[in-house]
């Protein structure tokens, strides 16, 4: 599924974010930037230990902020680590909104053309898929209406439930 917002094409993809050939993939991180389970664990396994080493060297950061590292052995050039929770692994709508906007600002700073997001905070953080979809899609829509280098934003959703939640929200707009 795809949708155009200004000059940005939004894509929904069911799959593994580590397989995406984009300028950057986004890691749903804790603010200490340790890479344990979920999306972070998959990125560390596939990209290599150096991704975590680069990330933790920049932490801790404030919840809602983000940092950029190389992507190691992944197809993407960068990983943008979005701190959507603290070490307690608890998140909320404000953290997800701020982290999404921070990632989009970093992408602009790097003049990236393409980026792939997971559903931030919905795995280990346990946040609602539908609410996450509303928050993240609103942030991307806001960003797309401003000056941006991005041409393509992908939401790479792990599992049918996540894909369906984002598709439902896009269908409502």
Q: What is the mean pLDDT of residues 151-157?
A: 98
pLDDT tens for 26-60 read 999 999 999 988 899 999 999 999 999 999 999 99
Percent of the residues in the chain that have a pLDDT greater than 90, as a whole number: 90
List, as own/partner pairs, every contact residues 66-71 make where C-beta atoms lie below 8 angstroms and the sequence separation is at least 24, other chains included. 66/29, 66/99, 66/102, 66/103, 66/106, 67/33, 67/106, 68/24, 68/106, 68/110, 71/24, 71/25, 71/47
Percent of the residues in the chain that have a pLDDT greater than 70, as a whole number: 99
Q: Does the global pTM surpass 0.85?
A: yes
pLDDT tens for 157-169 read 999 999 999 999 9
Pick one of 3.40.50.720, 3.40.220.10, 3.40.630.10, 3.40.50.970 as the CATH number of 2-172. 3.40.220.10
Q: Is the pLDDT of residue 173 over 70?
A: no
pLDDT tens for 94-152 read 999 999 999 999 999 999 999 999 999 998 889 999 999 999 999 999 999 998 999 99
Give the span between the Cα atoms of 103 and 117, in whole angstroms. 9
């Amino acid at each position: 599924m795809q949708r155009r917002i200004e000059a940005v094409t939004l894509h929904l993809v069911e799959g593994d974010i580590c397989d995406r050939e984009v300028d950057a993939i986004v890691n749903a991180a804790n603010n200490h930037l340790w890479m344990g389970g979920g999306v972070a664990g998959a990125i560390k396994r596939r990209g290599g230990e150096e991704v975590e080493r680069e990330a933790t060297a920049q932490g801790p950061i404030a919840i809602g902020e983000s940092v950029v590292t190389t992507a190691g052995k992944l197809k993407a050039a960068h990983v943008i680590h979005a701190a959507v929770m603290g070490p307690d692994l608890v998140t909320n709508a404000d953290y997800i909104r701020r982290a999404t906007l921070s990632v989009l600002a970093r992408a602009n700073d790097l003049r990236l053309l393409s980026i792939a997001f997971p559903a931030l905070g919905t795995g280990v953080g346990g946040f609602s898929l539908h609410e996450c979809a509303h928050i993240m899609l609103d942030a991307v829509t806001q960003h797309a209406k401003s000056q941006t280098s991005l041409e393509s934003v992908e939401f790479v959703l792990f599992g049918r439930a996540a894909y369906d939640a984002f598709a439902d929200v896009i269908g409502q707009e």
